[in-house]
């Protein structure tokens, strides 16, 4: 599995912004078109986390393509 830090780097590259003091504990909430919560620190990401991030990144890509069309 990928590391949580890798998922965070992916969402930042896609333009998602960390919402300050919105997550609880080690959870972070990023925002672009919709919120995406990413728990954990440097631990291995769970499969569902990878899938959630992949879905969010795909929505951003589609949105950007629509804006360019």
pLDDT at 26 over 80: no
Share of the chain above pLDDT 90, in %: 0
pLDDT score, position 1: 82
d(CA 18, CA 32): 9
DSSP 3-68: BHHHHHHHHHHTT-EEPTT-S-TT-EEEESSSEEEE--SSSBPPHHHHHHHHHHHHHHHHHHHHHH
pLDDT score, position 36: 64
- Top pLDDT among 17 and 24 is at 17
- Top pLDDT among 14 and 35 is at 14
d(CA 50, CA 48): 5
pLDDT tens digits for range 42-68: 678 888 888 888 888 888 888 888 888
């Amino acid at each position: 599995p990928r590391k949580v830090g890798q998922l965070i780097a992916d969402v930042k590259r896609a333009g998602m912004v960390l919402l300050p003091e919105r997550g609880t504990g080690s959870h972070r909430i990023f925002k672009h078109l919709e919120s995406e919560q990413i728990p954990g620190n440097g631990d291995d990401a769970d499969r569902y986390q990878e899938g959630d991030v992949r879905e969010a990144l795909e929505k951003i890509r589609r949105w950007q393509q629509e804006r360019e069309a």
